[in-house]
Structures are given as structure tokens and as C-alpha cells.
Amino acid sequence: MEIKKDILWRVYLIYFFICLFGAAIISKICIIQFSEGDQWRAQAQSFSTRFINIEAVRGNIYDANGSLLATSLPYFEVGMDVNTDAITKEFFYDNVDSLAYCLSILFKEKSQKEYKKLLVKARKGGLRWVILQRGVSYTDLQKMKKFPILRKGKNRGGLIYLQTNKRERPFQFLAARTIGKLNENGTGKSYGLEVAYNNYLEGVSGHRLMQKIAGNVWRPINDENEIDPEDGNDIVSTIDINVQDVAENSLLNCLKKHGADHGCLVLMEIKTGEIKAIANLTRSGKDSTYVENLNYAVGVATVPGST
């Protein structure tokens, strides 16, 4: 009898501790759910979503006659949310062949069969972001907006694209040092008009909400809080690109004739004081060719005239 009581006592004790442990778990769950729920949900959200800056389009730089000296060309990473609610299963499979065909004709990097396989696999896998093409020009993006499914737009057609801008100089090396460049990533030097008038040219960045999905990939979310960037302002310089061309060629011929190490030519319109051309050339140590790597007119104090 004593043995039986001893066993029952042990069973009750174990049962008590199990109930106590269970009550502690339930209590902790309630605290997390109701008292700390908002905090943990916010923290989880911060790991899966984030805002990124949308780069504004820099303003153009023109010469005195309106010729384009520097401009930003937009390029796009174009993707698709093949599982957006507006794209039903029937609508998707009725149009996926046509979409794959249009993509294969435009880009030619994949066949119609390969594009269809990519889209169908993403659809079956429940993916909300599949990249269709990178480095898409503005003209090609407009064509894509007319493709089957995609012509429905962002919300109904799943079309999503991210823009990046590439700075280009149409006249390439002409007045390159004067026009300059801006290295925003901290590598290399920044100089020229691009730096001096950066506050006018840079515009105001916007922001977009991104979501982290499988494969450590971030996809844009169509969010009402998205802020579009404001493009930068254009500036007009006093440089005349035609005069600049003559000035650079004249300086080059003169340096070659005399075997000079470097030279600078500044052409000013006396009536207005406007600088119409600045040419700077330095002999390269490698092959004795002349390159433009320093603006002597601005960066070096030199006695005017021939030396």
C-alpha cells in the first residue's frame, strides 16, 4: 500500500511539473502574441523588406549652341510577377506562348521555348519575381509594354522594372576634362562641370519598397508609399563644341611639332568674356601619345604665353 502511495505521489508530482511547464509556455506565447507582438512583427518585417533609393535622372549639359555634351541614358532590369492575383491560370496559359514569342523576337538571347519554360516554371513554383531581361533600353521597354499579359501594366499584368542611368558623352573625348565626371561610389576622381554644378544636375532621389524572396533575391513591391524621383536640371555651358574641336586638333599638332610635354589652350570671346574652348593635352609616358588628364587652365598656375 505504501509503495502504491509512493508511486502515485511521484506521478502527481511529475504531472504537476508538466502542467507548470505547459502553463509557462502558454504564458510566454500570450506575452509574445499580445504584449510584444507588434515589436517582433516589425522586426521580422524589417528583415524581409527595405526601402531603396531610386536614382534621379541627372540633367543634361549643353554647349552654347544647344549641342548635347553629357546626358543620362536610362536602362532597365525588367521582370514579371507571374503569380499576381490579376493573372488567372486560364489567362496565363492562354497568353504565355505569345508572350514568349514576342520576347524571343525582341531579345533573341533565348528561344520561344526557353522563355515559355522560364515563365511556366516560375508560375508553377509560385514565384513573384522572374527576370525577363537586364539592360533594356527605353525604346525596348516601350515595346515590352505592348506584349501579351505585360500590356495590362504593373498591377494586372505583373510588369515590374527597375531603372538605372548611365552617363554618356555624345562627343566622347571632346572637352571631356571640362565636362568632367562624378564618381558617386567613391572610386576615382570627380571633376569638371559635373562636380561644379552637381547641386543643379543631380535632382532628388525617390524610394521604393523591396521584398526579400527565395534565393536571397530582392523584388520591388508595388506600394502606394513609393516616391518617384525628381529629375535634375539642365545646364548650358559657354563651350562651343565646334570651336573645341578645332582647338584640340590645333593644340595636338603644335605639341607634336615641338615635342612638348604638355600644353593648354583657352579661347575666350573678348566681347563677353565667355570661354568657348579649353584644350589640355599631356604626353603619355607609355607610348608618347597625348591624352587629356589635367585641366592646366584651372589646376596649374602658369605664366601665359609660349614656353
Asked if 78 and 144 touch (Cβ cutoff 8 Å), the reply is yes
0.85 exceeded by pTM? no
Report how far residue 113's alpha carbon sits from residue 98's, in angstroms, rounded to the nearest whole number. Answer: 11
**Look-up: residue for cell 600644353?**
263
Asked if 170 and 244 touch (Cβ cutoff 8 Å), the reply is no
Q: What is the pLDDT of residue 295?
A: 85
Q: What are phi and psi of 214, to 5 degrees?
A: -55, 145
**Listed residue (220, 217, 187) closest to 206, CA to CA:** 220
Domain parsing of the chain, residue ranges: 2-35, 51-236, 241-299
CA angle, residues 301, 305, 307, in degrees to nearest 5: 85
Q: Cell numbers at residue 8, please?
A: 502515485
Asked if 177 and 266 touch (Cβ cutoff 8 Å), the reply is no
CATH for 51-236? 3.90.1310.10
Q: For 162-200, what is each residue's pLDDT tens digit?
A: 888 899 999 988 999 999 988 866 556 788 999 999 999
The answer to whether residue 214 scores a pLDDT higher than 90 is no
Contacts 24+ apart (CB under 8 A), 108-111: 109/133
Average pLDDT of span 80-101: 91
Share of the chain above pLDDT 90, in %: 44
The answer to whether residue 46 scores a pLDDT higher than 70 is no
pLDDT band at 148 (very low <50, low <70, confident <90, very high): very high
What is the rounded average pLDDT for all residues in the chain?
84
Q: For 112-140, what is each residue's pLDDT tens digit?
A: 999 999 999 999 988 888 899 999 999 99
**Look-up: residue for cell 518585417?**
45
